[in-house]
Chains A and B, each alone.
Chain A
């Protein structure tokens, strides 16, 4: 389809939309046709920096598992190659407003929510942010409830993130087969480029 060279020649906005399109369609040729896709991505991101003099913000979707760790490692690697770069670690607690609950559950809900947020912050997000800072990056973290894909995308857009890095779905259960995983949904619906780390 498109070679890496051709991509480089396109104006900035079109480049981004092309990458997005290709990821939507699941066509990864664009990426692989460059000699080293990571490097080409890195060079494109750098172009953004030199031209617009803005800080790149990479969003890492954490899930508290190994794949989240791998997403972290990849993001660190990528960030180290960028000049001005900020990292934002996000953990979304899966939650839907359309469930059925008992009155007791409703009564306890506010308390539980605080507990869930506290737990996710101290166990997952804070250690991740600390690790990133230790490695010398500017980093921050967010914990939110909601649909994982939708919330991750919304927070990225709200915070001016330029791309999302997530681990591939860790489970391959029956439900995932039917309804698709959060990662699938993110890749299909995100408004910024998404990198899925295997």
Chain B
């Protein structure tokens, strides 16, 4: 394995050294990759984002929000009723000290979060605010709060119906709870739905969990080093990912897993400092957010445009209802599957309601979005698709410019953070994709290696393609997972309700007790 890794490093180095000569040719490689990719994924993207007839409202956005609302009502606002309990669980108050050494609630939460906190919070929010205006933030927060119930439902099921193998390892996720849960309820088609989910999960892993990350990481690096072909970043990234997931070089993953949380804290800290320094503008920014949420303030598509962008970005960022977190949480050895559900409902809160909102506020306060001084509305760019920005930035570049406006050196920190976030998200999603892959093709060395190599190839494609097609495909693939997952959750949610009733009554009688006070 070490030799393979070495080979990749050498190959990468060679590619780098020859690159200046081949720069022109490289640009055309990027173009070709982009064209082929856009043509291939076009129909799939159009299907997922098809609007309701006669409107511009994509059905998928409605699908996600309706589901989150249904789960919120069905479980009696579980995200608020059990919020304090979720915090106690993460603190370890209910953990039996004799079970110490197993994956803790905190570790499961942190692992799932490192898969979701990342570019969605930095670049995704910039896209949402850039197209939908500040009003998108309001809908994003609302979607985040509702999404907590979706997360709760899927993660409880993930732990309840996972596979436990003789050697002590576990495999879980929607594909397992769909097939087992449907069997338990005597419903037909569980197996087929599980297979369909797995296919979408693999696409999601290659799209949002991989190409989008590679693409935005390249955008960051080239923003600082100057423009150069994307496939070079792609090959370097692919080499490192390959070393970790195939070569088993754990040290790289371990370093990332340890650095990423600090990057997250640093990011939120920087955002807070900017907000404190501009505290006189916070009221105005919230005013823009509320006004924009219901009027649109001149953005493309009006307030519906803001709403679509907000909901879309929230779902993409916290992945509630997508089913990915259910795979991450399944690894926890717990006597009560529902405790993982409670813990997981904190994820959309941290990810969307806290971190995404910070980014949005910083972008709004930094006044990167150009306002028409006479009408007070936002000005659109020439194509009329997004709000015009000071330097014509979009995506992660917009966030970077917004932070750079107050803290001049922060774009450099952000570049490092983006690269690390992208990397840790890729590692998480390579695992989610792998679980879906082995569900389809069986758990074996060859099957696993095949997927991992495909995964690395897509890193290169993602870095080389341009943002438009990549972000469309990433969204489409991740939302396709949600189509199957949520459809099945409607049938399976009564199983969760049973768990919830049993757990809350035992919590009341004191049968479930605290170990720490």
Contacts and interface: CB of A to CB of B under 8 A. Distances in A.
18 contacts: A97-B92, A97-B104, A100-B107, A101-B257, A102-B257, A103-B328, A106-B328, A107-B169, A109-B102, A109-B331, A110-B168, A110-B333, A114-B168, A144-B97, A144-B101, A145-B100, A151-B97, A154-B97
A74 to B, nearest CB: 27
B111 A146 contact: no
B-side interface mostly: helix
A100 B104 CA distance: 10
B103 interface: yes
A100 B261 contact: yes
* Leading 10 A-B pairs by shortest Cβ distance: A145-B101, A97-B104, A111-B168, A106-B331, A145-B100, A103-B431, A113-B101, A146-B100, A100-B257, A110-B168
B167 to A, nearest CB: 6
A108 interface: yes
A197 interface: no
B246 interface: no
A93 B97 CA distance: 13
A-side interface mostly: helix
B110 interface: yes
A104 B431 contact: yes
A35 interface: no
Interface of A: 93, 95, 97-104, 106-111, 113-114, 116-117, 144-146, 151, 154
A97 B169 contact: no
Contacts of A108: 169
Interface string B111-155: 100110000000000000000000000000000000000000000
Nearest to B427: A102
A106 B427 CA distance: 13
Contacts of B111: 100-103, 106
A103 B257 CA distance: 10
Interface of B: 92, 95, 97-98, 100-108, 110-111, 114-115, 167-171, 250, 253-254, 257-258, 260-261, 327-328, 331-333, 427-428, 431-432
A100 B101 contact: no
Given A101-B257, A151-B100, 10 more contacts: A98-B107, A100-B107, A100-B261, A101-B111, A102-B111, A102-B428, A104-B431, A106-B331, A110-B168, A110-B170
Nearest to B244: A102
B331 A103 contact: yes
Contact of A144 (B100, B328, B427): B100
A100 B110 CA distance: 6
Nearest to B254: A102
A53 to B, nearest CB: 31
Contact of B169 (A98, A99, A111, A154): A111
B427 A98 contact: no
Nearest to A154: B97
A102 B111 CA distance: 6
Nearest to A93: B101
Contacts of B169: 107-108, 110-111
A97 B95 contact: yes
A180 B110 CA distance: 27
B332 A98 contact: no
A104 B431 CA distance: 7
A110 B108 CA distance: 13
Contact of A110 (B102, B257, B258, B328): B102
Contacts of A154: 97
A169 B179 CA distance: 53
Nearest to A115: B168
A154 B261 CA distance: 31
Contacts of A100: 107, 110-111, 114, 257-258, 260-261
Nearest to A108: B169
Contacts of A102: 111, 250, 253-254, 257, 427-428, 431
A141 B162 CA distance: 34
Contacts of A103: 111, 115, 327-328, 331, 427-428, 431-432
A156 to B, nearest CB: 13
B95 to A, nearest CB: 7
A109 B99 CA distance: 12
A45 B20 CA distance: 81
A121 B401 CA distance: 57
Given A98-B106, A100-B107, A102-B257, A107 B331 contact: yes
A39 to B, nearest CB: 36
Nearest to A143: B101
B338 to A, nearest CB: 18
Contacts of B98: 144
Contacts of B428: 102-103
